[in-house]
Amino acid sequence: MKQVLKSILIITMLSTFLSSCSSKYGKEKNFNGVQLFYTSKVTEAQADKLGKYLISGGFADGEKKTVQITKTGNTFEFRMVVKKGIDRDEEFTQIFKSYASELSKNVFDDEPVEIHLCDENLKTLRVVIPLDESDE
C-alpha cells in the first residue's frame, strides 16, 4: 500500500488547487494540503473518513493537491487532478486500479470506487476501475 501511495504522490505533486467558486465542485474541506471537494451525493462523514484515510496513508502530506469525491448510482468517483500526460501512462493506470480497490475496502465499505484522472478543472481525462480479485 505504501508503494502505491508513494507513486500517487509523485503523480499529484504538480496538481493545482482550484481557486474558483467551490460550490461548482461541492463543499470543501482541507486535509493536510489536500483540497477535498465533496458533492451532495456524499455525506460529510464519508468525506471526513476519506480525508483521514488520505492523511494516514501519506497521500495528504502537506503538498497541495485537489481531489473530489462524488457518487453516481452506487459507485463512488474519486476524482483527482493529475500531472499532464499521467492519464495516458499504463504503468500508472495499474497503480490507480490498485488504489481504487484500497479506497473501496478501507474507506467506502467495499462499495465500488472509480478513479477519475482529471485536468486542473476536474474535467475527467480517463476513468480507472479497480482491479478484479482475479487480476491481483
Q: What is the pLDDT of residue 97?
A: 94
Q: What is the pLDDT of residue 82?
A: 93
Helix (H, G, I), strand (E, B) or coil at 48: helix
- The residues facing 35 across adjacent strands are 30, 66
Tell whether the model's pLDDT for residue 6 goes beyond 60.
no
pLDDT in tens, 28-72: 999 999 999 999 999 999 999 999 999 999 999 999 999 999 999
Query: pLDDT above 70 covers what percent of the chain?
Result: 79
Q: CA 30, CA 124: separation in Å to the nearest integer?
A: 22
pLDDT in tens, 73-96: 999 999 999 998 999 999 989 999
| Segment 7-25 mean pLDDT | 54
Task: Give pTM, 2 decimals.
Answer: 0.82
| Residue in the structure block whose three cell numbers are 474519486 | 78
Tell whether the model's pLDDT for residue 14 goes beyond 50.
no
Element containing residue 126 per DSSP (H, E): strand 124-128
Number of H helices, E strands in the chain: 3, 6
Write out the E strands in 24-123: 27-31, 34-38, 65-72, 75-81, 113-118
**What does R_g of the chain's alpha carbons equal in angstroms?**
13
Q: CA 121, CA 104: separation in Å to the nearest integer?
A: 25
| Mean pLDDT of the chain, nearest integer | 85
Tell whether the model's pLDDT for residue 26 goes beyond 90.
yes
Tell whether the model's pLDDT for residue 130 goes beyond 80.
yes
Q: What is the pLDDT of residue 131?
A: 74
